[in-house]
Amino acid sequence: MPEFVGKMQFYLTALDQHVRQENENPSIGIILCKDKNRTVVEYALHDAGKLLGVATYEITRTLPKELQGQLPSPQEIARLLEGIERKG
């Protein structure tokens, strides 16, 4: 939806002003869409002031072979989240 661009730019500005470190590059927004209409994307991004990417996605039940071993397991993610909850 075209309004997602404005919302993403709002979040990127907040992130860059309050979280980004001086040595880091400006944040880049990524909008994932189930379906993508190229004309709508071009019009929506025409005057966008921040770096944004729009991509489609596909839900799958298994991780592609080229990504296996590169991402943490569900158990590792759970352990990491437990550590965050304890600190907060």
What would the pLDDT profile of 49-87 be if each residue is shown by its tens digit?
666 677 777 777 887 888 778 878 888 888 888 866 555
pTM of the model: 0.52
Distance CA 54, CA 44 (A): 11
- Return d(Cα 15, Cα 21) in angstroms, integer: 10
Identify the domain containing residue 71 by its residue range: 3-87
Residues 6+ apart with CB under 8 A from 71: 63
Better pLDDT: 21 or 34: 21
What pLDDT score does 85 carry? 59
Q: For residue 72, what are its two tokens?
A: 């943490």
Alpha-carbon distance of 18 to 34, in angstroms, equals: 31
